Amino acid sequence: MSQPETTLWELEPHTEAKHIILRNYLRAWFPIMGQYNSRILFLDGYSGPGQYDNGEDGSPIIAIKEAMQYLDSCDKRISNKPEIAEIVMIFIEENTERAIHLQERIDSMEIHKKINVQVVNSNFEDTANDILQELEKSKAQLAPAFLFVDPFGYNLSFELIQKLMDNPKCEVFINFMYEFINRFIRRIGQEAVMTKLFGNEDWKQLDLDCQPEERRELIHGLYQQQLIDNTAKYVRSFEMKGKRNSTKYFLFYGTNHKKGLLKMKDAMWSVDTGGTYTFSDATNPLQGVLFGNEPNYEYLKDLLLLEFKGKTATIEEIEDYVLCSTPFRTTHIKLPILKPMEQNQELRILTDRKRRWTYPAGTIIEIF
């Protein structure tokens, strides 16, 4: 789809999938962050008008609804624990009609008193830089934040993402518009924008005269490496393919916290593609793992054997490996993999346990 010019536009199936992921992730993120912080921030850098042609919610409204659901559940709970004081939600939208539309939608909602919503009719770069400068002046840090960066195109500053992510407890979710980037990466006149996007000139060294898959691996790999080197300890990426099996975009998620990674994987695996598009983990482009299908347990077993064959490991070490280094969830390990392996005598349990075929905390496993 080319970039829409109207205030609202049609919701495409893969955008809907992106929204399911965002919604499911925030449903976990607000309670986790709210438990430990008195103030948290949701920053939507390219917010859009908050609504699609047929009335569907856009990302700002999805986020507000999730924040409200969390605060309502806090209100109902009787607890001595300190409560979250404020959820700041900043929505940046460059297009004035879209910003007005968003503001009107928000005004029509009954917003919880602990939510501080700001719609900023400006561009992401200037607004985020202003926020960072203010913080620097007052020697303060950004509140723990979820940054949603969802542009139409690729005029996006890596340096800015890096500066925002320098603040502890910041997570980022970026829509890397591969279809356009791939089309324009060699186009004369795009050099400065590409350097800005990738954060350096390494993109110029990519040998892109190759097959589309290899090209995709190179471009995706460079951006992923930049994020790993400069922004977050854990980076995963997810590929969204359109009808003709061509890559539309990659969603990159970066966090410094394993719990975030765990929750994002849960959110990703919850997307039911319904066959209209393909959605896979692309962190290791040599072997993408499709979501929405039965997990490919054979592949997970291969990965586990590659890592642990001939070794002894605790269940925690195995779970940690699956969480941090594979596309799979930790819930994919015990029943689908370890139990059949144990039944086939491909592994041995070295610790005591109450019930057969269970792998409680502290279990030590020898994998043959």
Ligand X SMILES: C[S@@+](CC[C@H](N)C(=O)[O-])C[C@H]1O[C@@H](n2cnc3c(N)ncnc32)[C@H](O)[C@@H]1O
Q: Of 1 and 335, which has the nearer Cβ to ligand X? A: 1
Q: How far is the CB of 321 from ligand X (least distance, A)?
A: 33
Of the candidate residues 66, 93, 171, 281, the single one contacting ligand X (CB under 6 A): 93
Total residues interacting with ligand X, rule: CB under 6 A:
15
Q: Of 115 and 149, which has the nearer Cβ to ligand X? A: 149
Residues 94-123 close enough to bind ligand X by CB under 6 A? 94-95, 98, 123
Tell me the residue length of the chain. 368
How far lies 200's CA from each of 165, 185, 203, 358, in Å?
Answer: 17, 14, 7, 49
Q: Of 3 and 108, which has the nearer Cβ to ligand X? A: 3
Of the candidate residues 66, 150, 171, 239, the single one contacting ligand X (CB under 6 A): 150
Of the candidate residues 20, 37, 129, 151, the single one contacting ligand X (CB under 6 A): 151
Strand partners, 118: 90
Give the integer Cα–Cα distance in Å for 39 and 35: 10
Q: Segment near ligand X (CB under 6 A), from 93-101, 253-261, 283-291, 305-313?
A: 93-101
- Say whether residue 179 binds ligand X (CB under 6 A): no
Closest CA to 149 of 116, 177, 190, 121: 177
Q: How far is the CB of 152 from ligand X (least distance, A)?
A: 5
Q: How far is the CB of 146 from ligand X (least distance, A)?
A: 13
Q: Segment near ligand X (CB under 6 A), from 134-142, 145-153, 190-198, 297-305?
A: 145-153
Q: Of 60 and 199, which has the nearer Cβ to ligand X? A: 60
Q: How far is C-alpha 214 from the chain's CA centre?
A: 24
Closest CA to 99 of 78, 118, 120: 120
Q: Segment near ligand X (CB under 6 A), from 88-96, 269-277, 325-333, 335-343?
A: 88-96
Q: Of 88 and 218, which has the nearer Cβ to ligand X? A: 88
Residues 28-67 close enough to bind ligand X by CB under 6 A? 46-48, 58-59
Q: Segment near ligand X (CB under 6 A), from 76-84, 87-95, 187-195, 331-339?
A: 87-95
3-state secondary structure 120-183: ECCCHHHHHHHHHHHHHHCCCCCCCEEEEECCCCCCCCHHHHHHHHCCCCEEEEEEECHHHHHH
Q: How far is the CB of 355 from ligand X (least distance, A)?
A: 46
Q: Segment near ligand X (CB under 6 A), from 150-158, 273-281, 301-309, 344-352?
A: 150-158
Q: How far is the CB of 130 from ligand X (least distance, A)?
A: 13
Listing DSSP states for 177-222 in one string gives -HHHHHHHTTSTT-HHHHHHHHSSSGGGG----S-HHHHHHHHHHH
Q: How far is the CB of 100 from ligand X (least distance, A)?
A: 12
Strand partners, 80: none
Of the candidate residues 40, 67, 92, 303, the single one contacting ligand X (CB under 6 A): 92
For residue 337, the 8-state DSSP code is I
Closest CA to 192 of 206, 208, 204: 204
Helices (H), the chain: 13-36, 59-76, 96-107, 124-137, 158-165, 178-184, 191-198, 212-230, 258-269, 297-308, 315-325, 339-343
Q: How far is the CB of 233 from ligand X (least distance, A)?
A: 26
- Say whether residue 152 binds ligand X (CB under 6 A): yes
Give the integer Cα–Cα distance in Å for 37 and 342: 43
Give the integer Cα–Cα distance in Å for 84 and 74: 9
Of the candidate residues 42, 124, 178, 328, the single one contacting ligand X (CB under 6 A): 124
Q: What is the dihedral angle through the alpha carbons of 147, 148, 154, 160, rounded to the nearest 10 degrees?
A: -10
- Say whether residue 249 binds ligand X (CB under 6 A): no
- Return residues touching ligand X (CB under 6 A): 46-48, 58-59, 92-95, 98, 123-124, 150-152
